[in-house]
Structure 1
Amino acid sequence: MQDPDLDVYLLDSDLTAALRADARAGLTATPKTLPPKYFYDARGSELFEEITRLPEYYPTRAERQILTDRAASIARVTGAKTLVELGSGSSEKTRLLLDALRDAGTLGSFVPLDVSASALRDAVGTLRADYPDLHVRGIVADFVNHLEVLPDTGDRLVAFLGGTIGNFTPAERAPFLAALRARLQHGEWFLLGADLVKSPAVLVPAYDDAAGVTAEFNRNVLHVLNRTLDADFNVPAFRHVAVWDAGHEWIEMRLRATGAQRVHVGALGLTVDFADGEELRTEVSAKFRQDGLTAELTAAGFAVRHWWTDAEGRFALALAAAV
C-alpha cells in the first residue's frame, strides 16, 4: 500500500490482529504479561513525551547530551549518505544527527521507520519543510518483523535510539541484531542507544516518578485493551509498580491488582481472573554494561568502533560497523 508521504507495510488491521494475539497469549500466561508497544496510542505517546521531561527521567537528556557532543564525530566517521531511524516517533533527537551529516556534506536521504502512520506523516511533513534539500520518506512498519523493507541505498547509518533495545530480552535481542546485520552491507553503520547499569536509587525513580506520570502511562495499556478489545478492566484498581531485578539487570514495570477482579475481553471471548495482589508485567527495560553489549554486537556481526557516554556515565551510544 502506497501513500504520498509514506511506504506502508503495516496497517491498523495488522496492529489490531497483533494486539489480539498478544493479549490472548499474555493474559492467559503465568505470570500474566503484555508487550510494552501497546502503551503507545495517542494518549500513551503524549504521556511518554511528558515522562521524558520529568526530573527523574534521565535517559532522554543523557542521550541528547551525547548526541550534542558527538554528532559531528559520528558524521565524520560514517560519512553516511542515508540515515535510517528505527522507531523514530517525532525524530526530535535525530535532528542533531541530520544537522551534523548535512553539515558534513554527505547526507542525501532520511528514512524514519515507525508503527504509527499518523506520527510519521507529521514528522515527514515537518522535516521536509525544515530540510528542503533532504529526501525524506517514512516507512510504516514494525522494526522487529519488517527489517527487509529497509531501502538498500548504500552508505547507510541505522540509528536505534532511546534505549529501546532494553525492551528486548537477551533471547530476543540476538535474532534482532543478527537480522539487522543481515540487512546491512559490509562497512555500513549502526548507532545504538543503551541505558547503563547504575544504582537502583537512580533507576527506579526514572520509572516511578513522584508526579505519577509513569503510573498513568503504565495503566494506559489497560485503556487500550478496554477500547480496542472491548475489555472491562477497572483501570484505577491496578497500582503501578516498578522493580529493579538485580539478577537480570533490568527494570520491570508491572500493574498490581488492588483487589480480586474478573475481566471480560469481549473481542476475544475471554474471561481473565486477577487475584488480589496479582501482577501483570507490562515492560522489561534492560540496562547494559559495555563489555556485555559489545559482546552481543560482536556475536551479531558488528564491530564496536566507538563507545560514548554522557558526563555522568548513565547512558551510552555505541557506534558499530557491519563486518
Structure 2
Amino acid sequence: MPYNRRTFLQTLAMAGAAIPLRSFAFAANDWEIHGFSKPFQFKWMDFGMLCQTFAAAGLQGVDYTVRPEGHVTPERVAEDLPKAVAAAKNAGISAKLMTTAIQDASDPATEAVLRAAAKEGIQYYRMGWYDYEKGKPLQESIRKRAGQLKALGELNKKLNIKAAYQNHSGLRMGAAVWDLYEMIKDADPAWTGVQYDIRHATVEGAASWPLGLQLISPHINTIVIKDVRWKLEKGKYVLENVPLGEGMVDFKAYFKKIKELGLKAPISLHLEYPLLNQQETLLPDPQKQQIVQAKLKKDVDTLKGWLAAM
C-alpha cells in the first residue's frame, strides 16, 4: 500500500496519537502580521501615510482603532471606515482586524459599527474590557459577562464578523485568563473568541502563563505581540514597554507552546513604547515617518525571525 498522507494519518490514529491538523508547523510567511494603529495616531499621519508606512515595514495588514478617540470614531464609522480600508488596499495591505470599545449587543452603537465593519470586509474585532461589578461576588460578574458574550456571538453570526476579548493585566476581567475561560467557555468559538496577549499574560503569570494559554487555546482567534520589562523608578517597580526582544517576555518558550498547541491566527503587532522623542517631534513629517517606520520594521523583522525559527 502506498504511504501517502491518508495512510500516515491512519497510522497515527491507530497508534492512539492522532494530532489535530492545525498542529503541523506553519511557515513564517503563512502568518499574517497586522500593525496596531493606536501608536501611530499622529496628527501629521493620515490613513494613506499610515498604510504606506506599514506596507514598507513589511506588514500584511492594519488593525485599526475604531472606538472613541480612535483612528475612526463610532459616530463617523459610516463615513471614515471606508476611507481607512481603501487606504489599506491602495497600499497593498489588508484591513481584517479592528479594535473597538464594544461590550454589549444591546448598545445602539454596537450594530452600527459592526455592520459598517462587516461591509468593508473586516473579519475580527477586539472588544472593550469588562470590569468586575463592585460589591458583588466575582462569580456573579462572570455569569453576567458570559451572557453578554453569548448575545454578542448571536449578533456576530448575523453580521458575519468575529469578536475577540483580549486578556489584559490588572484587575479587569480576563487578566487571570481563568476567569476569561469561565466567561467564554459556552460561547460559540466560531463567532466569539479570545485575542491572546502574551505580554499581559507574562505580567500576570510570569511562570504559569503556559497553563492559561493551554486552557484558553481553543478559543483564541487572534494574537497580540509586544514586549515589556520591570523598571525601578523612584524606588518603585513599574512596567516599561520596549521593542521586541528587549523585555522579559519569553518568546522562544511562547512560540514553542504555540506550535505544540497548533495555534495559527492573525497577529496584531503593538509598538507601545515611544516612537519619537521630543526633538524628533519637531522634524518635518517625512523625517518623522522614516523614524517610526524604521522602529516598526525592526520589530517586524524580529517577529518574522522568531516565526521562521518555529
TM-score (norm 1): 0.32
Q: Which has the higher helix share?
A: 2
TM-score (norm 2): 0.33
Q: Which has the higher strand share?
A: 1
Higher relative contact order (CA closer than 8 Å, sequence separation 6+): 1
